[in-house]
Amino acid sequence: MIEYELHRAPLSDGVLQAMMALEAQCFLNHNSERFLYELEGKRNVLAVMAKHKQTYVGFKLGYERRRGHFYSWMGGVTPAFRGQGIARELMHRQHQELCRQGYQTVRTQTSNAFKRMLVLNLKCGFSIVGTFVSTPNQLLRIMLEKDLRQND
């Protein structure tokens, strides 16, 4: 059975360490320094964590970019727990909390390298609002946004 936890800023060292460990399991290009740097000084940081028994198996993390607008920055589910609906539930719980807090929109980014995440975002009501080429790796990034005031 999967349990879900909501964590708000300031995030404890334990939660930050757990998310960095999850990032290392979920992504080949993880970077703990970048992870902490990205969160530094951000408003209304919100993390949703998935736990199986006593082990974290997934997370969804973001922060407020401007009033009414939330940026869902990063998330992942460990390989052994993928395909069980955990990412969808993490997103659902994040969006429920954002609605509760009065946010109107949520934005995220992905690339073709993460097709499953792109498809999940589209199935969950996101629309593609733009693309750009990231530096220094020159990857095409896809920007998606969802109006939280509309039902899925």
Note the pLDDT tens digit of each residue in 67-118.
Answer: 999 999 999 999 999 999 999 999 999 999 999 999 999 999 998 888 999 9
Does CATH number 3.40.630.30 belong to domain 2-107? yes
Whole-number Cα distances in Å, 33 to 10, 22, 36, 72, 84: 18, 14, 5, 19, 30
Note the pLDDT tens digit of each residue in 55-65.
Answer: 999 999 999 99
Note the pLDDT tens digit of each residue in 134-143.
Answer: 887 788 999 9
Dist. CA 61–CA 8, nearest whole Å: 10
What is the model's pLDDT at position 151? Answer: 62
Q: Where are the domains of the chain?
A: 2-107
What is the model's pLDDT at position 44? Answer: 95
